[in-house]
Every structure is written in structure tokens, then in C-alpha cells.
Amino acid sequence: MEKVVTKEKLLQQADGLRDLARRSRRLADSLGLESDRQRLQRHAVELEANAANLEKHAVEARTGAFAPVVPRSAG
């Protein structure tokens, strides 16, 4: 059974991703190895991009409920 995705749910997910990105950046600042900091900072950038994509879909949606959005994997 497919769950209904609403604008509100997309925006909540985007907020959650942005929160994870903030925490990732904060954690990155505390790491000793530069390579670890860079990896975590890249992860934060990806989270922000996914959040922006979700927000874009929420803004562009004409109705309150629509088909699920499946994020593309970077690879």
C-alpha cells in the first residue's frame, strides 16, 4: 500500500534534512582528520541539496497530495 505524500510532509522531511546537515557540520568542526571533516561536510552539502529538492517539489505541487518523490542517489 502506497503512502500519500503531502506538501506538509515534504516540508517536514526537508526541515529534518537541514537539521541533519547542521549537526553534520557541527560534528565536522570537531573532527581531527581533515579527510573526515571534508567527508562530513560533503555529506552536509548533499543533505542540503536533497532538502532543497524536496522543498522545490512541495512548492511546485498543485494539489495537497501527490505521488511519492524518490530521491536520486549520487553515484
Domain ranges of the chain: 5-62
Residues forming a β-bridge with 55: none
Residues forming a β-bridge with 66: 5
Q: What is the pLDDT of residues 29-66, one digit of tens each?
A: 999 999 999 999 999 999 999 999 999 988 887 665 55
Residue 75 has pLDDT above 50, yes or no: no
AA identity, residue 30:
S
φ, ψ of residue 60 in degrees (nearest 5): -80, -15
Pair 31, 37: CB distance under 8 Å: yes
pTM: 0.74
10-25 mean pLDDT = 95
Pair 55, 14: CB distance under 8 Å: yes
- Check residues 40 and 2 and name the one with the higher pLDDT: 40
Kindly calculate the radius of gyration of the chain based on its CA atoms and give it in whole angstroms: 15
